[in-house]
Amino acid sequence: MSEVKFRQPQDAEWLDVARLRWQWLTEEDGQAGTDRGAFEQEFARWAAAAHSHRCVVAVRERELIGMAWIAITPRVPTPLVLDRSVGDVQSVYIVPEARNSGIGSGLVDALLLLADELGLERVTVHSTTRAVAVYQRAGFTPSQRLMHFEPELPPERRPPGH
């Protein structure tokens, strides 16, 4: 099997990243709420301009086979540190035929390297049950102080199946 490389997407690859996002949604939910072409174009436009999110991809023989995102959130400055940010791992996806081969770990490691380069204070993740071990191997640990609240969303804003 060919070597997998982990890197940030090139400008010409945003449509391919959008296709991964579409594939993931339709794999899980069987359908999407919008036109595929329109989604891919809008997603690619958003991703190319997004300053709040960074992406890494897994590439085998010039084909994108996985993606992972980190959302970057600025924090309130302190007298000691004026430029503060944290990250949240989001939207990690690997095509079915490439799963269970270490690609998830490679994507997470690449995101954590990027987080270090960006000087993020902390990186969090809301993991699926299946992926917990991947994050633990990368050094993630549970926190007694990190809490969350899920507001009741109106029906039109709820993810499918919720």
**Domain residue spans in the chain?**
4-9+52-140
Residues in the chain: 162
Q: What is the pLDDT of residue 160?
A: 64
Torsion from C-alpha of 155, 159, 160, 162, nearest 10 degrees: -70
Contacts of 138 (CB under 8 A, 6+ apart): 105, 108, 109, 112
Q: What is the pLDDT of residue 60?
A: 97
Question: Is the pLDDT confidence value at 92 over 90?
Answer: yes
Q: What is the pLDDT of residue 161?
A: 62
Question: Is the pLDDT confidence value at 77 over 80?
Answer: yes
Residue with tokens 């897994």: 58
Give the homologous superfamily in CATH for domain 4-9+52-140: Gcn5-related N-acetyltransferase (GNAT) (3.40.630.30)
Work out the average pLDDT over 79-93. Answer: 97
CB 108 within 8 A of CB 138: yes
Question: Is the pLDDT confidence value at 162 over 80?
Answer: no
- Tell me which of 136 and 158 has the higher pLDDT: 136
Largest CA distance in the chain: 52
Residue with tokens 């400008």: 11
